[in-house]
Structure 1
């Protein structure tokens, strides 16, 4: 910390941010803040860089969550900026996957709204060959979907033949439609889980709309956090350039 830099006590930084002094100490210990200078008596002395770091962390926390935000800031202060940025990339990739799953759910709901193939008029459940013929797929496809945990048809007593009820047929149709749109099985799983959890397409449609708004809000928060991180990194790099210039100047004077 140079002589002309602002000097803040833990209580000063706490008041500026609306936190407790203990939380400020915890943030330094966790690497959220860079190491503070110490007085001869051992008291922490913070500066403008700590205020900027705290502001950056809180912006990241809103978009990326406390765990990821802490890891990012720790990486920056440990000198591993590429690793910190990789964590940011991973969070954006995860959000993208959630959007893909949500889009799959929307397409599935649109597909379910279309007329379904006529189911044979019978009271008994359908067997695997009948469901395959109904959907125009091979029986092996149904077994693959079952092995992946997407379908769980009941088994007939004695023969152990698979029995597909109305909900099983609906799920198989949904899987088939989404597979034709090149969705992976793991991307289809949350669609089925959502439909089963909500209990109806109408309830799932409402849940999808709510989820879409939440993802949009998180995207905006992540953009704001990433922007604040970029500013903080630029500030650190600029401070390092100034320090290097000062050190070079002192070296010249000492010759």
Structure 2
């Protein structure tokens, strides 16, 4: 048996964190000694290790919810919950790969494009339709400094006109936002690409993201081995319950 201090030392968490995680249901409730002190076991060390990996893989909020849920959900639902994390992570990877491909394609276009002509420009309506976005999204990106359309004077006032450079910026922004990048991160990528002779910083950021996703995937696999051990006893208890209550199992 381990005291709360010993469990904290064995797992790298503070004593207060251990108490909080027990209260939140991340780990099973400890037994109590005759003097009222908590008594933890090797299972608690194992489960806190799984939580650490799961928190890195999917975030602490989702990890806490999952660790608590799988202790009470039916086996099929608990298993499905864990599988959704793998699916989401794979989706993140696919989006990052798609964004990287988009950046490479756009960078290649910058080297092969002919001099822009008037016909290459697009209105905000045309560009929003081409990117399957709302016009208000393009306006917001402009406010954030991600896209720089030209302003032309019309009889009705002024209108936005997107030349090739602004169209590329909008395409890059759309690709990075789809991959989950925050506005500040997209702004850094756009700043690097505006030179159009060096997309390296943006590509490096995507490569770093892909490495992080791979590391999170490994952490999720490590956590999964322990989650199976948590789910299995619950499943075995559920399977044994009908047999114990069956009339045939009861002596006359």
**SS of 1:156 mapped into structure 2:** strand
Aligned to 1:112: 110
Q: How far apart in 1 are the matches of 2:7 and 2:221?
A: 22
Note if contact 1:156-1:162 (Cα within 8 Å) is conserved in structure 2.
yes
CA change 1:105–1:65 in 2 (3 A) is same
For residues 185 and 29 of structure 1, what CA distance do their matches in structure 2 show? 39
Tell me the TM-score normalised to structure 2 length.
Answer: 0.68
Q: Give the aligned length.
A: 227
Aligned to 2:207: 212
1:205 shift after superposition? 1.8
- Structure 1 or 2, whichever has the larger Rg, is 1
Deviation at 1:65, TM superposition (A): 2.8
Contact 1:108 1:174 in 2 (8 A): no
1:142 aligns to 2:127 (yes or no): yes
C-alpha change, 1:214 and 1:13, in structure 2 (3 Å) is same
Partners of 2:124 and 2:160 within 8 A in 1: no
Unpaired segments of 5 or more residues in structure 2?
A: 142-146
Structural mapping, 1:1-255, within 5 Å: 7-79=1-73, 81=78, 82-114=80-112, 116-119=113-116, 130=118, 133-134=119-120, 141-142=126-127, 144=129, 147=135, 148-149=137-138, 153-157=149-153, 159=155, 160-162=157-159, 164=161, 168-172=163-167, 187=178, 193=187, 195-198=189-192, 199-202=194-197, 204-219=199-214, 221-240=215-234, 255=251
**TM-score between the two structures when normalised by the length of structure 1:** 0.68
Partner deviation per Cα, 1:122-150 (whole Å, 9 max, x = no partner): xxxxxxxx2xx237x89962363682416
Look up the match of 1:4: none
> Deviation of residue 71 (structure 1)?
2.6
